[in-house]
Structure 1
Amino acid sequence: MSYYTANKEVEFISCPSKYIAAEGALRENRDLLLGKAPISIEELVPLPDDNKTDYYNSPVSNPALTDGMIDYSATYTSPAWFHFTRGIDRTVTFRLDNLSAINRFEVCFLRDESIAVRPPRKLFILLSENGKDWEVVSRDSRLTCVFEKDIVTKRIELEVPRKALYVRFKFDVACHVWCGRLSAYGCTEIPENAKDIVASEAESVAKQTIYNKYPDYNALLGVHNVLLSYNCLPKDRVKHGEGFITEEQYLPYVAYLDKDMKIKDTMFDAYLYLPYTAFNYADNAKTAEGWHYYIDNCFAKGRNLEALDKTVGRVKDELNLPDYKVHVFFSLLYTFTTSTSFGDLDGSGKCLNFTKIEDRKTAIKWAVEEYIRRYNEKHTKNTVLGGFYWFEESIAFADEHELDLIAYARDLVHSHGMKFFWIPWYQAGGFADWQEVGFDIACMQPNYAFNDKIPVSRLYDNADITKKLGMCVEMESFLHGDDPFHINKFKDYMDCGAETGYMHSVKMYYQGGVPGDFYNACHSSDAECRSLYDDLHLYIKEKYVSRKDR
C-alpha cells in the first residue's frame, strides 16, 4: 500500500478508442505532461512516520512536477519543487490524454548539499501502451553537477519515437530528492516511423533487487554477533584511560557471567574496532599524524586488541574450548576532501592531498596494509583478522570519487581474502545499493533507541526493509543508568528480532563503547537492568523468546 494512494488501486486502460487521437491530431511537438497530475506515485518500502508529511513527501495534487516552472535560483524553500524523502525509490506514472508518439524527455532536480537534497543517482524512463507491458527507453541517466548548490537538468532524446499512452519515471531516493520538472515531449499525430512498445526483460533493470532473506552467517566468515568496540578519543579527552579497553572491561562481552560473576558461556564472537565520533570528526583525524595515532591506539600494549586476545584465552581455558577464537575487524577512516595537506603517511616525504583520488587511494592502501602488518606483529593466539569496515554511515554520492574509492577498498580487502562491510543509518544514502556499491554485507541501523518520539513500528519497518534488501540489523542500546524505559527499548529490538527472524542472522551491536551499557547491565544490582544482560545472552545464542510469546 503506497503512502500516496492509500487503499486506492490505479486502473490501467488498454488504449480504448477514446484514447486514440482522432482526425486533426496535433503534429506540434509539445510537453504532453504539462499540467497533468500523476495517476500514481509509489515508494518501494514504507516511509518513516516522521516523513509522512506534505513537506517531506509532496501530495499527488501538488502541481510542481508538471507546471512547467523551474526555480533557477536553486532555493530549496521554493514552492517550485516537488519533495520526495526516503522510501528507497519512487515510481511516478502518468497517463496521457491520447496515444502519442514520444520522442524526448526533460527532467530537473535540485542539488543543495547543505540540507542533503541531491538528484537521483539513477533515472529510468519507461513507456507503455496498456499499462501492463513496459519498455525501458532510458536508463542510468547520471544527473551530476559541479556545484554543491545548483539546478541539475537532463534532456533525453529518443532516436525513434515510441507510441505510448503511459509514461513512467523511476528513480532512487537516497534521502531527499526535490524535483522541479518531469516532461515527455511528442505529438498526438503518430508518424509512420513511430515504434510500438516492445516489452522485454529490460524492464527488470529498473527494478530493485529483492532478496527477501536476511544474510547467512557465511556472508561474514561465519560470524554471528559483532560488538562495536569503540576505541580512541582525542588526546585531550583521555583522562582516565578512556578508549583503551582493559581485560576486565572486555570480560562480560567475551564471556557470559552469572550473577556471581562466574564464567558460564561465550558471548560476542566478533569485535569491530572503530574510533569514537569525537576523534573521527576532530581536526587531528584529518591528518596523517591522526591516522597513526588511531592505529597506535588499536594496538596499544596491554589494551584493546591485546586485552581482547588475553580475555578470550582466559574464557576458552575456563570453558574448555581449546579451538575457540573470535574475529576482529578494523575501520577504514574516511579521506575527507577538505584535507588538502593531509601529511606524509608512509615516510616517503609526500604530503597527500585528498582532493586527488590517487592520494586518497594511497591512504586507503597504506591503512589496510598497516593494520595487517601491525596485527601480524602481535601474533595473537585467540583472534582472527576478518576484514574491514567502511567508516561512514551514508554514501556521499556528491563526492565524485566516492564510488571509485569504495570499489578500490573492496578489491584491496578482497585481495587479502577478507570481508568488507558497512553499517548505514536508517535509509541512509545508498543503503539499498549496498551490494552494487561494493560491500559483502551491510547492516542497517533502525535508530529507534535514540529518539523517544519514534514508535516501536520503526523496528518492524526496518526488519521488513532489511529482509527485502538482504541486509542485517544493528542492535542499539542507549541506556540511562537503570532507567526502565530505555531498558525496555532495547528489549523491543530483541522482541522484534525473535519475531521477524533477524535474530537468526548476523547481528552488530551499538552500546556506546566499552565498558558501555552491557557491561553496566552485567554488574547492575537492579534486577530489571541485570535482566537485560541475561536476555542478551539468550538473544546471542538465538534462544530468546519475545515477551509477546511468553
Structure 2
Amino acid sequence: MIPKQIIARSMMFACVLLSACGHSGEENSQPGKPEPEKPVEEENYLTVTTRNGAPVESYEQSFAAFAQTLVVRSNVKWEVSAGNAAAWLHVEATSAATAEVAIEVNTGREVRSGTIVFTTTDPKVRVEIPVRQNFGETIGRAPIRDLMLIYDGYDDGRAFDDKRFAKYAASDDDAPQWLFDGYLFLTAHRGGKSFSGGLNRPASNKQDWEAIVDFYLEDTHSIPALDRAVGALRDQIGGTFHRRKVVIFMPEPQEGQTDWGEIDGKAMDFSNYPDRIAACKWYVDMVVEKFAQHDFRNIQLAGIYWFPEHGGFISTYMKQVAEYIHSKNLDYRWIPYYGAFGHADWKKYGFDYAYYQPNYCFSTTIPRQRLYDACAEALSADMGLEVEFDSNYAFERNVAYIDVYEELGILEKSNLAYYGGTSFEYWKNGITEERAFYERLAKIIAERQKKFTTNKKTPDTL
C-alpha cells in the first residue's frame, strides 16, 4: 500500500521580543524633544517545509517505510529529535538548512505514534510535527447498523460479482437509497473441509485458512467487487458518503486437531488453548496484511466474526483473542443461535457486538411466540437480533420477523444482522406480494441508515 502523507497548513512558531517605549525618567530630559527611536529586534522564527515548499504539519503513514528531506528555515540555531519514538522514527539534521526523516517498516502492523521536535536556542521557538502510523481509512473498527451475511467461496461456484452486490448496496427505485452498511463474509466449508466443528467434514488447515481469504480478495469478485459496486452507486445517490464496512469470519481452531500446520516452526496442537489462540492471532495478522495491500476507496475492514454459533469455549480463551483483535483496531462480532450456551455472556467473552438468532423461520412447528421470546432475551442481554429469511419456507414466516420487530420497536433501537441474502434477491424480482415485501424491507433499511448516519452524537444508536 503506497504510504500517504497528509500535509496541512503551515506551522510556524515565532517569538516577538517587545521593546519598551517612553521617557528615560531622567530629571534633566529636555521637554518637547522626542526620544531617539530604539532599534526593533528581529523576530525569531523556524518553519519546516518539503523541498517543493509545501508546509508540514503532520504525517499520517500506512505500514510502510518512508523517507523525506525537510527544509528548515530559521534565524536561530536549531536541533531536531524524535524523542521516545527514536527506535523507529529516525530524524537528523543534515545541514544548516535541512533535516531528514525516515520511518522503519512496521512489520508488526501496530498503530504507533511519535513526534518530530525542532528546538532552538530561543526556548519559545519550537515546532512539533506529530507522526502516526495506522491503517488509514481502509481498516478500522466502526459501528454497523445493518449487517448482511454474505456466504461466499463455496465449491458450488457461488461468488458475488459487481452486479450482484449492487442489489444489496442500494434500492432499485428511481431514486436509489443506501441499504446495508455492513457485509459479513463467511464460508462454512470449502474443498471438502470445514471451518467449524460439527459439520461432519475434516477440519481445515492453515493453507485452507489462507486460501479462503485470498478468494475473498480476488479482483473479479467478493470484496473487490463490493468496493466497485458501491463506488458505482456513489454518484447516483449523492450526499455524504460513509464507507461500507466489511467483516471477515475467523475459522474455528477445532479442538484436538494436530495437522493444522506450523507457526514459527512449531506444529500446532489444538488439544491445548495456547496453540488455538496462536492460530487465531496468526489468522488476524494474515487478514489485516492482505486487506491492507488493496487501496479500497469505498469500503473498510471493520471487524472479525467468530464462526461457531455457541459458547463452547472458556472466557479466558475468547478474551485473549478479542484483546488481540482490538489491538489491530478491529471489532469482534458473534451471532449465537437461540438458546446457545453462553449467549447472554457475550460481553464477558470480549465481543463488541452480538446478534441473537430466533431460528423461527426454519421449522413449521415453532410458534410465533418464539420471535417475542427471542426479542425479550436479546434486549435483556443488550444484544442485537438476526433477521432470518428463507424463501424455501412459508412466505408468512419470513414476513413475521419484520412484523414482530416493528411491533416491538426493534427496528428503532437494535442493530440487525440479515441472514438469507439470496431470498432478498429473489423477492426483489418476485411476484406482487414478494416484490411488495422487498420494497417494504428496502424502505425500512434505508430509513434506518438515514437515522444512523445523521445521529452524530450517538452513532451506534438510532
TM-score, normalisation: structure 2: 0.62
Q: Say whether the 8 Å CA contact 2:203–2:257 is kept in structure 1.
A: no
1:339-378 Cα shifts (integer Å, max 9, x gaps): 112113x5x4432211122221221111111111111111
**In 2, Cα distance between equivalents of 1:541 and 1:319:** 12
Counterpart-to-counterpart distance in 2, 1:543 and 1:316: 18
SS in 2 for 1:265: coil
Residue identity in the other structure for 1:312: V
**Out of 219, 237, 245, which is 1:327 matched to?**
245
What amino acid does structure 1 have at the position aligned with 2:342? G
**Counterpart code for 2:171:** Y
Equivalent runs, 1:440-479 vs 2, <5 Å: 440-479=352-391
Q: What's the CA shift for 1:283?
A: 4.5
The answer to whether the 8 Å contact 1:232/1:276 transfers is no
Q: Deviations over 1:304-326 (max 9, x none)?
A: 10000001101112112463310
Q: Is the 8 A contact 2:184 2:249 kept in 1?
A: yes
Provide the residue aligned with 1:373 in structure 2: 289
Counterpart for residue 518 of structure 1: 424
Counterparts of 1:384 and 1:352, CA distance in 2: 31
Further displaced range: 305-314 or 500-509:
500-509
Q: Which residue does the alignment assign to 1:255?
A: 170
In structure 1, runs of 5+ residues without a counterpart are: 1-219, 545-550
Equivalences for residues 84-99 of structure 1 within 5 A: none
Q: Residues 309-458 of structure 1: matches in 2 within 5 Å?
A: 309-321=227-239, 323-344=241-262, 348-397=264-313, 402-458=314-370
Distance 1:291 1:507, change over 3 A: same
Q: Distance in 1 between matches of 2:448 and 2:226?
A: 26
Q: 1:294 to 1:503 in 2, by over 3 A?
A: same
Paired positions, count = 302
Cα offset, 1:456, TM superposition: 0.9
The aligned residue for residue 117 of structure 1 is none
Inter-partner Cα distance in structure 2 for 1:368 and 1:390: 11
Equivalent pair of 2:316/2:349 in contact (CA under 8 Å): no
Which has the higher Rg, Structure 1 or Structure 2? Answer: 2
Distance of 2:226 and 2:182 partners within structure 1: 10
Are residues 380 and 265 of structure 1, via their aligned partners in 2, closer, same or farther at CA, if it must alter by over 3 Å? same
Does the alignment pair 1:221 with 2:142?
yes
| Structure 1 residues 277 and 531: alpha-carbon distance in aligned structure 2, compared to 1, 3 A threshold | farther
> Aligned partners of 1:522, 1:277: CA distance in 2, in Å?
28
Once the two structures are superposed, the pairs formed by residues 239-254 of structure 1 within 5 Å of their partners are 241-242=157-158, 244-254=159-169
User: Aligned letter for 2:293?
Assistant: E
Q: 1:535 maps to what in 2?
A: 440
- Give the structure 1 partner of residue 35 of structure 2: none
Counterpart of 2:108?
A: none
Percent identity among equivalent residues?
A: 28
Q: CA deviation at 1:380?
A: 0.5
**Cα distance change, pair 362–263 in 1 and its aligned pair in 2 (3 A):** farther
Checking the alignment, whether the CA contact within 8 Å between 1:316 and 1:324 is kept in structure 2 is: no
What pairs with 1:488-527 in structure 2 (closer than 5 Å)?
488-504=396-412, 505-511=414-420, 516-524=422-430, 526-527=431-432
In structure 2, distance between residues paired with 1:468 and 1:441: 14
Instruction: Give the residue type in structure 2 aligned to 1:225.
Output: D
Structure 1 residue ranges (4+ consecutive) displaced by more than 3 angstroms after TM superposition: 276-279, 281-285, 541-544
1:381-418 alpha-carbon deviations (Å, 9 max, x no partner) = 00121111111100114xxxx42221111101111222
Instruction: Give the equivalent residue in structure 2 for 1:163.
Output: none
Deviations 1:264-323 (A, max 9, x none): 111111001111356434746521121122111211222110000001101112112463
Structure 2 runs not aligned, ≥5 long: 1-140, 450-462
2:329 partner SS: coil
The answer (yes or no) to whether the contact 2:186–2:249 under 8 Å persists in 1 is yes
CA distance in 1, matches of 2:434, 2:425: 11
Q: Please state how far the C-alpha of 1:438 moved relative to its aligned partner.
A: 1.7
Report the Cα offset of residue 419 of structure 1.
Answer: 1.2
Work out the CA distance in 1 between the residues paired with 2:240 and 2:407: 34
1:477-499 C-alpha deviation (Å, 9 max, x unpaired):
0112xxxx632212111111111
What is the one-letter code of the residue matched to 1:508? A
138, 149, 152: which is aligned to 1:231? 152
Provide, for residues 146-193 of structure 1, a one-character-per-residue CA deviation record: whole Å limited to 9, x for no partner: xxxxxxxxxxxxxxxxxxxxxxxxxxxxxxxxxxxxxxxxxxxxxxxx
Alpha-carbon contact 1:328-1:384 (below 8 Å) kept: yes
Counterpart mapping for 1:42-191 below 5 A: none
> Hey, what's the Cα distance between the residues in 2 that align with 1:263 and 1:272?
26
**2:147/2:181 contact within 8 Å kept:** yes
Aligned 8 A contact 1:391 1:422 in 2: yes
Output the aligned Cα RMSD.
2.0
Partner Cα distance (1:445, 1:496) in 2: 14
Deviation string 1:440-488 (CA, Å, 9 cap, x unpaired) is 12110000010011111110111111111111110000112xxxx6322
CA distance in 1, matches of 2:269, 2:448: 51
